[in-house]
Amino acid sequence: MDKGFGNPILLRWIDYGKCIGCGICSSVCEFIHEGTPYIRLYDVGGGLIKPISCFHCAKAPCVEVCPTKAMRRDESGAVYVDVSRCIGCMACLYACPYGIPELDVVTKTSMKCDLCRKLRGEGLEPACSAMCPTKAIVISTPQFVFDEAKKRALAKIIGAVTSFGRPI
């Protein structure tokens, strides 16, 4: 698999069709970040449990509205918080369509997923994708992510068509 680490841009995609809601992504994130998981699971109804975390948007509203430029991108395109610049105004939370940034009650600064910036700096894969047992979390180059999404969609189509007993 083309991991894409060290390339200029990374994308994260969560294949909710493959996700089993096991919580390993959240648990490993909580462990890596000393008690604070930046990917969290929610019951979306009927016992269906799925994770959500920062999407590191191409046009990230949190980055655009931050008055101190504390929300910024690293060399791989991941959005992170420079806590030395953050004033805790929460403009990023209000701008985020997913409500991802949160306020750290101790430091009074914004906090959110940074795609395991420290691990990536050591040449390692972000913890959530590395530990996902179903490989539902894919973090890689845009082309790899797009190709993987298309392959998985095609596999679903083939599976659906062949389940009716008709050859394609």
Sign of the C-alpha dihedral, residues 20, 16, 138, 157? positive
pLDDT at 82: 97
Report the C-alpha gap between 24 and 12 in whole angstroms.
Answer: 16
Its pTM stands at 0.85
Task: Name the residue among 151, 112, 119, 121 with its Cα closest to residue 135.
Answer: 151
16-132 maps to which CATH number?
3.30.70.20
User: What H or E segment, with its residue span, contains residue 50?
Assistant: strand 49-52
User: What H or E segment, with its residue span, contains residue 102?
Assistant: strand 102-103
pLDDT at 3: 44
Sign of the C-alpha dihedral, residues 108, 89, 30, 72? negative
> How do residues 34-69 score in pLDDT, each as one tens digit?
999 999 999 999 999 999 999 999 899 999 999 999
> How do residues 93-106 score in pLDDT, each as one tens digit?
999 999 999 999 99
**pLDDT beneath 70: ranges in the chain:** 1-8, 165-168
Q: Which residues contact 158 (CB under 8 A, 6 or more apart)?
A: 168
Q: Where are the domains of the chain?
A: 16-132
